[in-house]
């Protein structure tokens, strides 16, 4: 397991090159997604209750991700035949059409992404990787098999990352922060002159805590 720890990507790293088979055909990740954001998320197994609720929840937010220019990609170590049958079952039984591809991974790929945790069994844990248009890993989340994810938080973090790249840091609970609402935080001043000017130019609690309204 030490090797997997060394190989798994960290924040700011390039997402590792993966040539995979998916329910939408072969994919080269991140090569085929160059220039756009994507969320790759793993699930323990097809035809399981929690994973089914997650896939329906992701699909219900599919258009939100599309508006953000963000591709959804599912993944587990089940074979692609199982993925296809599961997607068919979700459509027939729940009347939900899964529009995003699902990767048929193997142990090598799962270890490369740190998705196999021996203490949690042989299936992949619930991992989430948010990757930017340059192929850089921007956010990683891991959940155990027994706890389903909050997809609104995944949508929120994609939005927050996109905004922070252009406007400033994002406060806790954004866009409903207890102190500054939907405002964004301006980077603290690094010299006395700028610090003095900041409190004149922006809403603030002090020169090191200035904020401004979100630009639409």
- List active site positions: 51
- Round to whole Å and give the CA distance between 206 and 148: 40
Q: Which residues pair with 200 in a beta bridge?
A: none
Closest alpha carbon to 109 in 46, 38, 24, 18: 18
Question: What whole-number distance in Å separates Cα of residue 120 and Cα of residue 122?
Answer: 7
Three-class SS state of 24: coil
Q: Which residue has the tokens 């963000």?
A: 70
Q: Could you tell me which of 125, 13, 11 has the C-alpha nearest to residue 75?
A: 125
Cα 156 from Cα 174, distance rounded (Å): 8
Q: What is the DSSP letter of 95?
A: -
């Amino acid at each position: 397991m030490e090797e997997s720890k060394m190989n798994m990507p960290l924040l700011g790293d390039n997402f590792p090159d993966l040539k995979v088979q998916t329910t939408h055909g072969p994919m080269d990740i991140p090569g085929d997604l160059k220039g756009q954001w994507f969320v790759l998320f793993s699930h323990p197994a097809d035809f399981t209750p929690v994973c089914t609720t997650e896939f329906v929840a992701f699909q219900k937010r599919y258009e939100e991700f599309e508006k953000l220019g963000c591709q959804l990609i599912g993944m587990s170590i089940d074979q692609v035949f199982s993925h296809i049958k599961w997607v068919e079952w979700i459509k027939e039984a729940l009347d939900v059409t899964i529009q995003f591809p699902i990767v048929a991974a193997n142990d090598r790929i799962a270890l490369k992404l740190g998705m196999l945790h021996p203490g949690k069994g042989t299936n992949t844990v619930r991992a989430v990787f948010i990757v930017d248009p340059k192929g850089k890993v921007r956010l990683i989340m891991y959940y155990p098999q027994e706890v389903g994810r909050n997809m609104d938080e995944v949508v929120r973090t994609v939005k927050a990352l996109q905004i922070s790249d252009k406007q400033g840091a994002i406060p806790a609970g954004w866009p409903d922060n207890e102190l500054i609402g939907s405002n964004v935080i301006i980077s603290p001043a690094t010299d006395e002159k700028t610090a003095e000017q900041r409190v004149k130019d922006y809403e603030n609690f002090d020169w090191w805590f200035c904020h401004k309204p979100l630009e639409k």
